[in-house]
Structure 1
Amino acid sequence: MTTSTAASAPDAPASPQATAVRYLTEHGYEQTTTSSLADAIGMSRSTFFRRFGSKEDVVFADHDLALSQLQEQLDTSDLTASETIARGTLEVSRVLTRDPVTARMRAQLLRSTPLLRERELVITHRYERMFQRYLARVAAPGTPDWGPIAVAAAVVAVHNAALRRWMKLGDDHAFGGLTRELTALLAKFAPWFGGEAGASRVVVAAFEAGASPDDVLRAITDQLG
């Protein structure tokens, strides 16, 4: 799945969330009241609360959407574990970077606001738990309890590294290797999560009792071919 980070058309009106993130970035998170933020995006205070909940929630509205879509995909996918993880993770990337300007302003706001950085950690754990539950559900018998936990944390770490590349480079190429990276990661644990690295095979080859080693090797090669 290709991640698109194209900005909205220049004449397209900014979304309420984009306007809110810009306002918070320019005026300061702590200095901005909910009332002033609602005014800035053209909403009454009661409408703002119904739609977003709080000024903290409006900053992470894209994450709420990404988490909801990811959960649906993990619940309904009939693909292999590596394909499911890769597609779900790329969709998260698409949602978080669909408005590049707002995504960068949000990152700037998080860097300058400790309270929001703490909320970001909570959201990171939500992604991890979501992947963990999925991996535990598809794990092969005998998979250790720590397997889904470790792999879920690794998936989120790989995605976050790609997101940081995007923040630095600012183009689609930052996510170009993400599917390959996640596939390689899951392949390390293939016996536990779907056997993408290839299942074990029992090869039966028949040959004469007096066959030479070369004849035996040819018989095995024929079976494997």
Structure 2
Amino acid sequence: MSARASAPPPESSTAAIRHLAERGYEATTAEALAAAVGMSRSTFFRRFGSKDDVVFADHDLALARLEAALDETSLAPTEALVTATTDVLRLLLRDPEAARLRFELMRVTPALRDRELVITHRYERVFTRYIREVQQPGTPAWAASTLGASLVAAHNASLRAWLRGRIDDAASALTRDLRDLTGLYRRWLDGGDGPQEETRVLVAVYDAAASPDRVLDEVAQRLRP
């Protein structure tokens, strides 16, 4: 994966995204954007790469950090996934103004929504690769890709809930949701015996004068499904 290991300073990213939101994405040239944030054209392209990259600089950084975190983690797989996914959200919300401006830009700019889909698939690939590396023998073939996509969906749901003012602490809400989600896959990732067999209790009333064989036959009949 070719995500950048670092990102431009948050204040320059915010200024650039604000300019795009105010002037319009399509109407703004890279040169005008560079001038708006007080950079030369060459410095702008060195720091951001392109006009699109202004909007997605934090995602590039988040992807690089996500991949590094999963490669280096010593946590149990389910906990590693919860922690790494929540860290992505924290990074994307480190500058609340930029997060809100980015959301509004993507809402009104089809080209950026297309780029967002590409970013989403990159997150899914990072998660899926890690899950396949750590999953237990006998894990269903669908588990890694399904969980990978579900992690991204849970993250995006918490992010959008925060952007729309439905929750205040997006990271805590996401952590709770992710623990529920990864718990469904724990036996395939962390190992263990999986779900316990159902325990059945039978209360028997029998004739004291009946023979032991008769009593056992009656009990066996009741225990049959």
Q: When the two structures are superposed, what TM-score results if normalisation uses the length of structure 2?
A: 0.79
Take 1:53 and 1:61, find their aligned partners in 2: how far apart are those partners?
A: 9
Residue 138 of structure 2 corresponds to which residue in structure 1? 142
Q: CA RMSD in A?
A: 2.0
Residue 44 of structure 2 corresponds to which residue in structure 1? 48
Q: Is the 1:80–1:196 Cα contact (8 Å) retained in structure 2?
A: no
**Match status 1:119 vs 2:115:** yes
**Match status 1:73 vs 2:72:** no
Query: Superposed, which structure 2 residues align to 1:25-64 within 5 Å?
Result: 25-64=21-60
1:22 aligned partner, one-letter code: R
The 1:60–1:170 alpha-carbon spacing in structure 2 relative to 1, beyond 3 Å, is farther
TM-superposed deviation, 1:198? 5.6
Q: How many residues align?
A: 189
Uncovered stretches (5+) of structure 1, i.e. residues with no partner: 1-12, 202-225
2:180 aligned partner, one-letter code: A
Take 2:78 and 2:179, find their aligned partners in 1: how far apart are those partners?
A: 5
Which digits, 9 at most, give the CA deviation of each residue in 1:81-101, with x for residues without a partner?
121111101110111011111
Which digits, 9 at most, give the CA deviation of each residue in 1:40-99, with x for residues without a partner?
111111111111110101110010111111111100111111211111011101110111
Please tell me whether Structure 1 or Structure 2 has the larger radius of gyration of its CA atoms: 2
Residue 6 of structure 1 corresponds to which residue in structure 2? none
**Match status 1:164 vs 2:153:** no
Take 2:34 and 2:61, find their aligned partners in 1: how far apart are those partners?
A: 21
1:139 aligned partner, one-letter code: Q
Uncovered stretches (5+) of structure 2, i.e. residues with no partner: 1-8, 198-225
| Percent of matched pairs sharing the same residue | 52
TM-superposed deviation, 1:16? 1.2
Take 2:187 and 2:117, find their aligned partners in 1: how far apart are those partners?
A: 31
